[in-house]
Structure 1
Amino acid sequence: MTGWHAPDDLVARYTDGSLPESDAWSLEKHVERCGSCAARVSHAVRSGAAGTVLAEVRDAVLTSVREPAPAPSRSAVLAARAVGGWLARIVWAAGPAVRGSWAGAVVLVAVGAVALTYGGDWAGARPLLLAVAPVVPVAGVALSYGRHADPLHEIVASTPSGGLRLLLMRTAAVLAVSLPTLTVAALLLPGSGPHLPAGPTTAGWLLPGLTLTLASLVLSAYVRCRTATTVIGGGWLFAVTAPLLADTGTSLTARLTEQLSLYFSGAPSQGGWAAATALCALLLAARRTAYNRLETM
C-alpha cells in the first residue's frame, strides 16, 4: 500500500463509466488494498444512478428473505435444476452466431436460392448455393468465438469448460443450423437443366464443408480465429472462382456446375475430403492446449 489516493475526478469518471478500461482496472486493483479509496468509490456509486438500482435490488432481497415463499418439493427442485441446467448449456453452447443475425442470414440464403429458382426461373441458383454452402459454417465459426464476437469472451474462455471444448460446442451449434437448412434448400432445387451438365449430388458439399470448418479450427491454433476463417473461406472461394475466369467457352453456370462436380463428385474426391477431415481432426487433438491462450483467439 502506498500513500497515493485516487483523485475525486478519477472516482467520478469511474462511477459514470467514462474512465478508460485500463485506468478502471488500475483503480479497482488499488481499492483492493486502500480502504479509504474503497469507501469513497462505494459512496460515489451509491450516490449516482447505480445507487438507485442497488437500493431496489437490496430491498427486493430483504423482502424475499423476510417473506419466504413456500418451499417446493425436493423432486420439483431437482427437476427444475435439471431443466435449467440443460437449457443453460444449450444457450451457452449456441454462441453469438446462432443467437445473432448469422442464423437469419443462413435461412435467407436458403430461401433466396429457392425463390430465384422457382420465382425467377434461374438455373444457376443450385450450383451457386452448393459453391457457397461449404463456407457458411466457416463464417459461423468466425462469429462464434473470440473477443470480437462475445463481450464475455475472457470470462467464459478462462473457465474449465473454455478453450477447445467451448470452441467445439459452438462449432457444433453452427453445424446443427447450417447443415440441415442448406441441405433441405438444395433438395428443393432441380438437379440440372436441359442445357447444363449433371451437377454434384445434394449431399456432396457436406464433407467439404466439415473439412473446411475443421481446417479453420486447426489454423486458429496458430492465428486468430477470424484470420483463420478468412484464410480458409477465402481460399475455397478462390479455388472455385479462379477456374471460371480462365475458361470463357461456356456459360458461367455450366462452368460452375462442372467445377463443383470435379470437387464434390466421385469416390476419389469424397475420399480425399474424408482423409483431409481425419487429418484435421488429428491435428486439432494434437494442438488442443493451444486454444487455452486467449491472445490467439
Structure 2
Amino acid sequence: MTGWHAPETLIARYADGSLPDADAWSLEKHLESCASCAGRVSGAVRATAAGAVLADVRDAVLAAATPTPAEAPPLRTPRLLWAAAPAVRGAWLPAVLLVALGAVLLAHVAGFSGARPLLLAVAPVVPVAGVALSYGRHADPLHELAASTPSAGLRLVLTRTAVVLAVSLPLLTLAGLVLPSPGGPGAAAWLLPGLTLTLAALALGGWLGLRTATAVTGGGWLCAVLAPALAAPDGAVARHLSDQLSAYVGGAATQGGWAAAAALCAVLLAARRTAYDRLERF
C-alpha cells in the first residue's frame, strides 16, 4: 500500500463501526505502516460517541497512574530500569567484560605487545553489538508490549543505546589506559569511531532492521581494520594493526572526520525517526 492513503469516507465508516470486517482488517493492517492515516483514524474515532467514553477511560487511567510528588522518584526509577534492562542483561555485558579483561590479560600475562591495538580495533563494534542485542523480540520477552507503548520507537531504542554506551565506553577506555602503549593511537581514540558506528547502525536500522544494520556497520569496520593486519607476515601483525588504526582513528583531522560523520548520522536518524515507530513491532 505504499503511496496509498485511506479516503475520508472509509475512515468515517471505520470510526462509526459500519465498515465490513474484511475492509476494517485491511485498513488496520495499513495503519501499522502509515502514521498519517493512523492519526486521521484516531481523530475520527475521538470525534464519535465512543471517543468521549475512551477519553474518560484514558483520564481515569492516567489519574490512577500519576504519582504524587512523594511517590514520583520510586515510580520513575523502576520504569527507567524496565526500559533499559535488556541493554545490560544477557550475553552482551559478559562480552564487554571479556573484551576488556581479555586485553588486559593478553598484555600483562601473555606479554602480547599488540593488546592495545587489538582492543582499539574491537572496541568500536562493542556498543554496536550491544544495540543489536538490546532491542527486539530476541532481547526482550515483553518486546511486543513495550513496542505498543507511547515510549516505544526511537525513544526506547535511544534509551537502551545510552545504557549500552554508558557501560561500554568507560569500561573499555579504562582497559585501554592500563595497557602498555607501543605507540599509535591513544586509549580513547576509538570513542568517536564507536559513537559514529553506533549512530550509523541506528540510522540504517530504519531501513534494514537493527540486527542487519549492526552487522553491516560492525562487520565493515572489522574487515577494514583487521583484514589488512591479518594478511601481514608473521610477527608483524601487531605493527600493521597499529598502523591501520593510526590511519583510521589517529590525528585531529581523522577525528574531525569521525565527528562530522557522527553529526551526519544523527541528522539522518532524526529525519528517519518515524521509521522506528513500527520497527520490529510485529
- Which category describes the TM-score, using the shorter chain as reference length? 0.7 to 0.9
Q: State how many pairs are aligned.
A: 216
What aligned pairs does 1:113-152 form with structure 2 within 5 A after superposition? 113-152=103-142
CA change 1:268–1:225 in 2 (3 A) is same
Query: SS of the residue aligned with 1:122?
Result: coil
Structure 1 residue 244: deviation in Å? 2.1
TM-score by length of 2: 0.72
Superposed CA deviations along residues 108-139 of structure 1, whole A, max 9, x for unmatched, are 22112111211111111111111000000001
Q: Give the distance between the partners of 1:224 and 1:245, measured in 2 at CA.
A: 30
Structure 1 residue 258: deviation in Å? 0.7
Contact between 2:230 and 2:237, CA under 8 Å: does it hold in 1? no
Q: What corresponds to 1:191 in structure 2?
A: 181
Bigger Rg over Cα? 1
Structure 2: stretches of 5+ with no match in the other structure: 1-67
Moved over 4 A (4+): none
Matched, 1:283 2:272: no
Contact between 1:138 and 1:212, CA under 8 Å: does it hold in 2? yes
Query: SS of the residue aligned with 2:124?
Result: helix
Q: Give the distance between the partners of 2:174 and 2:237, measured in 1 at CA.
A: 24
Question: What amino acid maps onto 1:112 in structure 2?
Answer: G
Q: What corresponds to 2:197 in structure 1?
A: 212
Q: What corresponds to 2:227 in structure 1?
A: 242
Question: What amino acid maps onto 1:203 in structure 2?
Answer: A
Contact between 2:148 and 2:281, CA under 8 Å: does it hold in 1? no
Structure 1 residue 87: deviation in Å? 2.1
Q: What corresponds to 2:3 in structure 1?
A: none
Q: What corresponds to 1:111 in structure 2?
A: 101
2:157 to 163, 167, 188: 167
The alignment yields a C-alpha RMSD, in angstroms, of 1.9
Structure 1: stretches of 5+ with no match in the other structure: 1-76, 193-197
Contact between 1:219 and 1:228, CA under 8 Å: does it hold in 2? yes
Contact between 2:196 and 2:262, CA under 8 Å: does it hold in 1? yes
Structure 1 residue 293: deviation in Å? 1.1
Q: Give the distance between the partners of 2:281 and 2:227, measured in 1 at CA.
A: 31
Question: What amino acid maps onto 1:283 in structure 2?
Answer: L
CA change 1:87–1:236 in 2 (3 A) is same
Q: Give the distance between the partners of 2:176 and 2:211, measured in 1 at CA.
A: 28
Contact between 1:222 and 1:296, CA under 8 Å: does it hold in 2? no
What aligned pairs does 1:241-280 form with structure 2 within 5 A after superposition? 241-248=226-233, 251-280=236-265
